[in-house]
Amino acid sequence: MNKKAKVQIIETKRRIFKTVEEANTASNFNILNPTFIPNGYNLLHVQHFIPDSKDEQFNKNETVILTYINGKNTFLFRQGHFSGAQVLAENVLNISEKNELTEQNVFWTYGRVLIKDNQSFEDAEKGWDGSVQQLGWDKGGLGYRLESSDLNLDQLIKVARSVL
């Protein structure tokens, strides 16, 4: 029997902060602030997303996105209640041992899943965007993911090491 998960759409509230310190006052978890930022990149803003639901079980599931820019390119550092390591299995490389990111299961992928229609993830037609690199991991019940189409893997690893 093929059971489908019930999909529930939950609206979120979005707040934008200029600094990580400001965003930390609104977050229910400690936002990690990288000490290594590649040359030319500066923090544009911190977006804080929190579910706006009457169901309390969802209201703790916040996500924070730090957006860095260098004039023409961006990189994102997502943090929150999601699986940072959850990417398509056939496109994943576990780089934990290779790059001395010890005590973490760190996964890298070149690309991301695109949802091509407005259905549940399971039912939707999916595509693949090969222009973005992602480095993701889970720690302490939270997910973390770096995303960039400009930075190389070594630079993403340096950013990750600066918060681990």
pTM assigned to the model: 0.73
pLDDT of residue 9: 59
Tell me which of 40 and 94 has the higher pLDDT. 40
- In the prediction, which pLDDT does 93 show? 46
- Radius of gyration of the chain measured on its C-alpha atoms: 16
Mean pLDDT of 56-60: 63
Q: Which residue has the higher pLDDT, 132 or 46?
A: 46
- Flag whether pLDDT at 134 surpasses 70: yes
- What pLDDT is recorded for position 88? 44
What whole-number percentage of the chain has pLDDT above 90? Answer: 35
**Residue-wise pLDDT tens digits, 9-33:** 567 788 999 999 999 999 989 999 9
Q: How far is CA 161 from CA 85, 86, 94, 136, in A?
A: 16, 19, 15, 12
Looking at residue 69, what is its pLDDT?
A: 97
**pLDDT above 60 for 150:** yes
Cβ burial of 19 (10 Å; 0-12, 13-18, 19+) is exposed
Domains and CATH numbers, the chain: 12-161 (3.30.200.100)
